[in-house]
Chain A
Amino acid sequence: MKFAVLVFPGSNCDVDMYHAIKDELGEEVEFVWHDATDLSGFDAILIPGGFSYGDYLRCGAMASQSNVMKAVKEAAEEGKPILGVCNGFQILTEAGLLPGALLRNKNLKFICRTVPLKVENNQTMFTNQYDQGQIIHIPIAHGEGNYYCDEETLKKLKENNQIVFTYAGENPNGSLENIAGIVNERGNVLGMMPHPERAVDALLGSADGLALFKSIVKQWRETHV
């Protein structure tokens, strides 16, 4: 299975993402620059965290208009798995691939710590290696992770089981309904504020993120082999 890690000016979790796939998961992975127009050679697209375009205007706004995002939209329509982490989540909402928006943290502070998450839906291509309701520990590091959407959208998210991860402890950023990660209606685009790629080795605090990447591979093998 071949993964693409998108790189924008200001991405800074791209190397962590690459390491997680290549060294911990053991799958093929390549960096792809933001002006690329073709992602057809990849089976999954990863949009890493960071501060694309310096967070100017709004987090993820400029990146959402880049060339590569047109290719990401095509890949999403083809049903390929697309994962956006942190700034990647912000880019996916700005691009309209996921509903809602990420606002400034309620306490106005940048928060960097490991938090407990609850797996709200293990029936997705990103979470099939977790138990339903499992508590996992994944680091967050963001200033704008306060998920917001209107009531109608929230109702839809709940009806379709699109809320995949919630904060299990104290809500760190004020996000609606403790939301930490959501999928699109089809279930192949996941956006989440916590960083699974930073939790792939017990030596570094937690390996709970690895199952997310293993889930993607499992789903892909079942449908392609």
Chain B
Amino acid sequence: MKKVKIYVTLRESVLDPQGSAVKGSLVNMGYKEVEDVRIGKYLELLINDTDRDLNEMVKEMCEKLLANTVIEDYRFEIEEAN
């Protein structure tokens, strides 16, 4: 069994109004050092042992469903699940 950790983030070129609002709040709270906030998604998948190329499989899942590559970037890590 493997654990796959997937991080989906908005592309640099895409405005993140939610992140801007959160940044505004943080600055108002006194954390004036905060320069920028970008909000993304974190997904965890548990995957049974398989003959398929796991790296390719996760990439495919990201491209087809988990991320929209028009507006988002993704990266992932694969580790042994306990």
User: Chain A: residues with CB nearer than 8 A to chain B?
Assistant: 57-58, 61-62, 65, 93-94, 99-101, 103-108, 148-150, 174
Find out whether the CB atom of A57 lies under 8 angstroms from the CB atom of B65: yes
CA distance A171 to B28 in the complex (A): 28
Do residues A58 and B68 form an inter-chain contact, with CB atoms below 8 A?
A: yes
Chain B residues within 8 Å of A150, by CB: 13, 70
Choose from B18, B64, B66, B68 the contact partner of A104 (Cβ within 8 Å).
B18
CA distance A104 to B71 in the complex (A): 12
Contact residues of B between 1 and 53, Cβ < 8 Å to A: 13-15, 17-18, 21
User: For B65, what are the chain A residues with a Cβ–Cβ distance below 8 Å?
Assistant: 57, 61-62, 65
Where the two chains meet, the residues of B that have a C-beta atom closer than 8 Å to any C-beta of A are: 13-15, 17-18, 21, 64-66, 68, 70-71
A100–B68 alpha-carbon span in the complex (Å): 10
Residues of B contacting A105 in the complex (Cβ-Cβ under 8 angstroms): 17
Across the interface, A100 reaches (CB within 8 A) one of B13, B64, B66, B70, namely: B70
28 chain-A/chain-B pairs, Cβ below 8 angstroms = A57-B66, A61-B68, A62-B65, A65-B64, A93-B70, A94-B68, A99-B70, A100-B70, A101-B68, A101-B70, A103-B14, A103-B15, A103-B71, A104-B17, A105-B17, A106-B15, A106-B17, A108-B17, A108-B18, A108-B21, A148-B14, A148-B70, A148-B71, A149-B70, A150-B13, A150-B70, A174-B15, A174-B17
Q: Which residues of B contact A93 (CB under 8 A)?
A: 70
Q: Which residues of A contact B64 (CB under 8 A)?
A: 65
Given contacts A93-B70, A103-B14, 7 further A-B contacts (CB under 8 A): A58-B68, A62-B65, A101-B70, A103-B71, A104-B18, A105-B17, A108-B18
- Asked whether, in the complex, the Cβ of B70 is within 8 Å of the Cβ of A107, the reply is no
Please give, as numbers and ranges, the residues of chain B lying within 8 Å of A107 by CB-CB distance. 17
Leading 9 A-B pairs by shortest Cβ distance:
A101-B70, A101-B71, A106-B17, A108-B17, A101-B68, A58-B68, A104-B17, A65-B65, A108-B21
Contact residues in A for B68 (Cβ distance below 8 Å): 58, 61, 94, 101
